[in-house]
Structure formats: C-alpha cells, structure tokens
Amino acid sequence: MSIIELDNKYVANTYARFPIELVSGKGSKLYDDAGKEYIDMGTGIGVNVFGVGDEGWVNAVTAQLKTLQHTSNLYYTSPCARLAEALCERTGAKKVFFSNSGAEANECAIKAARKYAAEKKGAEYFNIITLNNSFHGRTITTLAATGQDSFHKDFLPLTDGFLYADAGDIDGIKALAEENKVAAVMIEAVQGEGGVVPLTEDFVKGLEAFCKAEDIILIVDEVQTGNGRTGALYGYMKFGITPDIVSTAKGLGGGLPIGATMFFDKTEAVYTPGNHGSTFGGNPVAAAGALNIIERLDEDFLAEVNKKHDYIIDQLSVCEGVKGITGLGLMLGIETVKDVNEVLKACQENGVLPIKAKNKLRLLPPLNIPFEDLERAVEVIKNACV
Ligand SMILES: *Cc1c(COP(=O)(O)O)cnc(C)c1O
C-alpha cells in the first residue's frame, strides 16, 4: 500500500488532504516522495517560521532533547522560564502560561477572563463576545468561540455564554455588552481561517477603549498572526493597542507543538495554583526551540518581513487574474478571478505550495524565505491566476 492509501485507510477521516506525500525539506523548499521540489508558501499553516531544518532552531531543540526531554510542571526548567521572560520582555506581558496548541492557549485565555470577571463583578459575568467569521479552535469551547455556524453543526450543545458581533461593528459590541453580562471580547488581529481579513485600526482602538472603560477583558488570539507573521512581533502591535490577554501557538513552536497565553497587568494574578495546568505545557524541548525563534524576531528581521510583503503586493496587485489582496505582513489572502482550487492545483503542479482560506489563496511563507525563492513562487502564482 502507498503511504496515501495507508493514511486513508487508518488515519481518522477529518482532513481533506492534497495528494502529495512530503518527505523532507530545507529552508523554504519541500520535497515529495518522488523527489519533486516545491517552494513552501504555507509553512504547515504558519508554523515553520524559519523554514525546514533551520540550523539555529534545530541546534536549540536537539541540545535540549539530548539533555532532558520532559519534566512535567512539578519541577522548574530553564527553557520554560527563559521563554516566559523573553515573551514578557518583548510584549510587556507579566506572566505566561504554556500549553501545546492554539485551542488550548485560547481555553486558558477564556478561563482566565471568566475567573477575572467572576471575582471582580460576579459569577454571572461569564459571557464572551467574539466576532462573526472568526476561528478560535476545535475543542467544544473554542468552537463556541468560533463565530461560524458551519463549524458548530453536529456538535451541539457547545459551551454556553458566547455572543457574536460583526467585525468593525463597535456599536454592536456595546449593545451586546449592555444587554448581557460580559467578561471578555476576543478578536484575531487578522481573521485567518475566515479569509485573511484584517480588522481596522479604528475598530480595534475603539474596542480597546471600550473594554478599558467597562473593565471587560480584551483577548487577542494571535495563534496565527503572532510571532512575526504580520511584520510585527504580534499582530496587535500593528494597531498600537495593549490587550489584557494574548494567546499564541503555531509559529511560536517553529515546528514543535507549543501554545502560550500571555497575561498583562490586569490579568497577571488571576490564576493561582490548581486553577489550570497541562502535563506537556512548557515542555523544555519545544520551549528551547521557541526561545530561539523569539530571540531572532528582532526589528531588522521584521523590517525584512514587511519588505517581502510589499514585494508580493507590488507583483500580484497588477496581475490580471487577481481581484484583491488582503492581510498583513506575510499572511496574505489572494482573491482570484479563477476558482481558487484550480489556481491551487496549478501552483502545486508547478512546484509551489500555498494553502487556502475560504475562497482565497492564502500565503504563509517562511518569514526568512530568500528573495529568489519568493520571486519564483510569485511568478508561478501569477501564471496560475491567469
Ligand atoms: C489555528 C488557529 C487556532 C487553533 O490552533 P490549534 O493549534 O489547531 O489548536 C486558533 N485560533 C486561530 C486564530 C488559529 O489560526
């Protein structure tokens, strides 16, 4: 049996996969089982921020792997403490909780917001407002947070206490908060799975001011937008706001599973021993890799990310087959004249692997993709679009 047949027979049927078996890679290149080369414009959904087999990351991970691979949170380890310090120093957060995925990072944020509100205002202040078209994960609670009915179907009842407003509709959020007892508002800086749709600065700033005035916790889900992806260390920084809680995952791990929930001034003391936990959370191997990544996402590096953004926009905005481009940094959604599935197939045939978000082509290349690889990928995408 081929690997594709074996997978189809034995792996749970939850993913619509492309008929490609990837076996190796280097930098922004991936290779399939026949040795065909691809330029990676998806990075495993925004995870491999420094591409495949990046030397600094591999060295950090293997050194820790050979020393001590896991301890549980009953003991202290250096990578976990140092990663928390780096995240706090770079963001202004005061405390970090580590988990293993985006959904878990959001669960942690939601629990913290509810506990904050319960203690401050009363247990009836449990509602969380999220946005229509959002995506926050696949657990029963993060599905409830996800403002898209199509994800809810067949899994009801979900966790109680989630309300939805339209992105940009600050009055809608104010009205919901007047009619209901609200603990938090949760947003993505750019709605990734929703079609790479950025929020507007006016809306985000208005929301920050409203949440501050009403003592409502502002959670920013930076699972996809975080860790340099938008050209800022975290997407919210592009809007010049300070959230109360930030969740992240994907790119933080650089290829290993890790989730992080950051608590700012208001929320730093919410959790006390016994409130929350994770066996694998803060795993030293994943944390050592993440620390290497965060240390390298400096201002010069982020300036390069923004340059690459500008290059893609310059090239694709004049392409006849492109109707529009949305997104920030190296998280872009391309609305194509042709059916996106056709465009995607042509890209794959010609050695480029972007992904999809709704009806758009989604580009999430390695943040350090060499210009020559980016040029080649953009050329293939242009040709696939017309
Ligand atoms: C991917 C994603 C999640 C879920 O992350 P998992 O690691 O798959 O649990 C949550 N929120 C956003 C914005 C995401 O893009």
CATH number for the domain harbouring residue 46? 3.90.1150.10
Which residues, 6+ apart, have CB-to-CB distance to 249 below 8 Å? 99, 101, 102, 104, 105, 223, 226, 257, 258, 259, 260
Which whole number is the average pLDDT over 94-102? 98
What atom of ligand 1 comes closest to residue 45's alpha carbon? 1
Give yes or no: residues 357 and 371 share one domain.
yes
Are β-strands 37-40 and 29-32 bridged in parallel, bridged antiparallel, or unpaired?
antiparallel
State which residues form the domain around 343. Answer: 3-54+299-385
Pocket of ligand 1 (CB under 6 A): 101-103, 106, 135-137, 188, 192-193, 221, 223-224, 249-250
Measured in Å, residue 318 CA sits from the centre of ligand 1 at 32
Closest ligand 1 atom to residue 249 Cα is: 7
5-54 pLDDT per residue, tens: 999 999 999 999 999 999 999 999 999 999 999 999 999 999 999 999 99
Band of the pLDDT at 228, cuts 50, 70, 90?
Answer: very high
Predicted confidence at residue 374, as pLDDT, reads: 98
State the average pLDDT over residues 213-229: 98
Is 288 inside a domain boundary?
A: yes
The residue ranges of DSSP E strands in the chain, in sequence order, are 22-26, 29-32, 37-40, 95-99, 127-131, 162-165, 182-188, 190-191, 197-198, 217-221, 245-248, 259-263, 322-328, 331-336, 352-353, 355-357, 360-363
| Contact criterion met (CB below 8 Å) for 367 and 29 | no
CA distance 22 to 203: 41
Surface-to-core class of residue 382, CB atoms within 10 Å of its CB (0-12 exposed, 13-18 middle, 19+ buried): middle
Q: What is the mean pLDDT of residues 145-156?
A: 97
Question: Span 182-203, mean pLDDT?
Answer: 98
Which pLDDT belongs to residue 83? Answer: 98
Tell me, in angstroms, the distance from the centre of ligand 1 to residue 221's CA.
Answer: 8
Number of C-beta neighbours around residue 187 at 10 A? 26
Tell me whether residue 61 is in a domain. no
Query: Is the domain of 73 the same as that of 151?
Result: yes
Q: Looking at residues 258-278, what average pLDDT do you find?
A: 98
Atom of ligand 1 nearest to the CA of 102: 5
Tell me the C-alpha distance between 53 and 241, whole Å: 35
Last residue of a domain, one of 240, 265, 296: 296
Both 306 and 381 in a single domain?
Answer: yes
What's the CA-to-centroid distance between 44 and ligand 1, angstroms? 12
Distance 366 CA to ligand 1 centre (A): 18
Q: Which residues contact 180 (CB under 8 A, 6 or more apart)?
A: 127, 163
Residues ≥6 apart with Cβ < 8 Å to 6? none
> If you measure from the C-alpha of residue 258 to the centroid of ligand 1, how many angstroms do you get, rounded to a whole number?
11
Please check whether residues 216 and 172 belong to one and the same domain.
yes
Q: What local confidence, expressed as pLDDT, does residue 50 receive? A: 98
Atom nearest to 101 CA in ligand 1: 7
- Same domain, residue pair 285 and 217: yes
Residue 367, both tokens? 């943040």
Give the ligand 1 atom nearest the CA of 188.
13
Average pLDDT, the chain: 98
Domain count along the chain: 2
Per-residue pLDDT of 239-249, as tens digits, reads 999 999 999 99
Share of the chain above pLDDT 70, in %: 100
Closest residue by Cα to atom 10, ligand 1, is 136
Give the single-character DSSP code of 265.
Answer: G
- Indicate if 292 and 180 belong to the same structural domain: yes
- The whole-number average pLDDT for the span 258-267 is 98
Q: Which of 271, 296, 321 is the last residue of a domain?
A: 296
DSSP secondary-structure letter at 256? B
Work out the pLDDT band at 175, boundaries 50, 70, 90. very high
Query: How far does residue 2's CA lie from ligand 1's centre (Å)?
Result: 30
CA nearest neighbour of 53 among 70, 67, 40? 40
Write out pLDDT tens, residues 51-64.
Answer: 999 999 999 999 99
Over residues 150-179, the mean pLDDT reads 98
pLDDT at residue number 337: 98
Indicate whether 210 and 342 sit together in one domain.
Answer: no
Predicted pLDDT at 233: 98
Any idea what DSSP says for residue 260? E
Q: Report d(CA 262, CA 246) in Å as an integer.
A: 5
pLDDT at 162: 98
